[in-house]
Structure 1
Amino acid sequence: MHEVEESKSFAERINELFDTVRDENGVPYTGKKIAQRANELGYTLSDAYISQLRTGKAKTPSFRTVEAIARAFGISVTYFLSDPDEDLKRVEQQREYVALAAETGAHLSAFRHESISPETIDVVIELLKVVKKQQSERESDAG
């Protein structure tokens, strides 16, 4: 396969596969055929969910789903992975969020939830609890 552009959405990437990859007879794959192949390989995947991924209605498939689709197409899962530089930028952004929250006492609602994973939200919450505890300890020591 060719190099993936980091700006492509999952829907664009999967649709590109349907547009370009052919089966052993040179026939374009259908969602039903990919779901069937994935299920034969031991995954659980439906044509309906593939359709949702293709239209962008479902945007964040699990790694297992991505793996199932990649294996059904006979390609590497790395086709779907974002650019490492983009991942690094996202991690740096999340660190900045955490630092900002600690410095300003910002509440989690100040952040755009769709850009932060649930795991990161948990980390931010725990961090804010620690900051709150430290502030309370400082106030009681000063008083």
Structure 2
Amino acid sequence: MTTTTDVNTGRTFAMSLNELFETVRDENGIPYTGKKIALKANRLGYTLSDAYISQLRTGKAKTPSFRTVEAISRAFEISVTYFLSDPDEDLKRVEQQREYVQMAAETGAHLAAFRHEELSESTIDVVIELLKVVKKQQADRAKDQA
């Protein structure tokens, strides 16, 4: 990366990275930490430390290499274009996936079946709506049994 601010959005790398930490959740709906992202990136074959992620988040480190951007992107399971262009599209997908994870956790649905295929945005929306119906049915059933 040669610049610290995206010319299209005025966002710094630190701002974009912090937004991911605020928005993205793991498969259990828990926010990621720098340590979790570093460990995940390292398991994927990259070399990344929690300390460097912290420097990137605070803006102390301003020009990460493409390999670092790639490592962070893969750990968050997003496209590297999130950092290189207008992030609205990826953020919408991240928020959609977060809602899906939340609904899956609340209804006890299993996520493993969906991990190996890239789901379209409309398919994820349908799954979220179905999980909402399941959640409501569970709540209704619990009320009837009480």
Give the TM-score of the pair, scaled to structure 1: 0.54
State the Cα distance separating 1:6 from its structure 2 match: 1.7
> Whose relative contact order is higher, 1 or 2, with alpha carbons under 8 Å and at least 6 apart?
2
Q: 2:9 aligns with which of 6, 10, 13?
A: 6
| 1:78 has 2:81 as partner | yes
Counterpart CA distance in 2 for 1:20 and 1:55 is: 17
Give the total of aligned pairs: 80
Counterpart CA distance in 1 for 2:71 and 2:17 is: 12
Displaced runs of 4+ in structure 1, greater than 6 A?
none
Q: Which has the higher helix share?
A: 1
Aligned match of 1:34: 37
Q: Which runs of 5+ in 1 are unaligned?
A: 84-143
Aligned match of 1:89: none
| 1:66 has 2:69 as partner | yes
Aligned match of 2:51: 48
Aligned match of 2:100: none
Deviation string, structure 1 residues 42-75 (Cα, Å, up to 9, x no partner): 0000000000000000000000000000000000
Structural RMSD (CA): 1.4
Deviation string, structure 1 residues 11-46 (Cα, Å, up to 9, x no partner): 000000000000000000000000000000000000
Counterpart CA distance in 2 for 1:81 and 1:6 is: 10
Deviation string, structure 1 residues 62-102 (Cα, Å, up to 9, x no partner): 0000000000000000000046xxxxxxxxxxxxxxxxxxx
Counterpart CA distance in 1 for 2:85 and 2:59 is: 17
Aligned with 2:37: secondary structure?
helix
Aligned with 1:34: secondary structure?
helix
Counterpart CA distance in 1 for 2:67 and 2:85 is: 16
Counterpart CA distance in 2 for 1:47 and 1:8 is: 22
% identity of equivalent residues: 80
Aligned match of 1:111: none
